[in-house]
Copies of this chain bind each other. A is one copy, B any other.
Amino acid sequence: MALTDEAIDKIKAMILDGELTPGSRLPKEEILAGQLGLSRNSLREAVRALTAMRILITRQGDGTYVSSLEPHLLLESLSFAADVSQGRTALQLLQVRRLLEPQATGLAAALLMPEDLQELRDILDRSRAATTVEEFVAHDIAFHLRIVEAVGNPVLSMLLRVLSTRTQRVRIVRGSRTRHALDNAHQDHEQILGALQSRDALLAVSAATVHITAVEQWLAASLSDDPLRAIDD
């Protein structure tokens, strides 16, 4: 393995061992390079890799620090994975979302505050007025995110956000007969909101499952309809 990769692992190990804790400061490049037995240049590559993963934070003129290491922060760097996934892999992501998000929605049924419900109502009203796909998707994302945030678990929120990024949703919506798909989605959203308003967790789970499964099936159908896309995947 390359020296730089070893350095990455060593720094990770220092964090796992508690030698470096969230917020603590690393020795300056020159010193740390000496400690780890490599050149400053190679060390910088290791540090850069860790900053890209949100494990370290560098500030020019100040120093390099260990990040808060909050899992939802580290999750963020994953959004790229969802952005590039198409075809079969997008379907895999969507299946995970189908298994996870309805449960989160069910939990939220008991946790949403009246003002949350009102805001969900507003979001749906605005989404009905959306004229472009991008606009509708923005409301769509806001709707689901708002529900999930009621659970109060940032890891859950970030994970569901990552599982279905903006570019991915737009791609899916565009792939289906847009007008029809949008109407269906809107109706599904109404169903979910209705269940949440009546605090019916079981119904909320079911409505969310129906909704996401519908999306899943549009995607699966568009894949098998379109041999090219199915193949290049």
Contact = CB atoms under 8 A, between A and B. Distances in A.
A142 B171 CA distance: 37
Interface stretch (A27-35, A78-86, A127-135, A181-189): A78-86
A141 interface: no
Interface stretch (A47-55, A191-199, A220-228): A47-55
B156 A99 contact: yes
A107 interface: yes
Contact of A155 (B48, B70, B89, B103): B89
A69 B85 contact: yes
A1 to B, nearest CB: 11
Interface of A: 4-5, 8, 12, 15-16, 41, 44-46, 48-53, 55, 69-72, 74-75, 77-78, 80-85, 89, 92-93, 95-96, 99-100, 103-104, 107, 151, 153-156, 159, 167
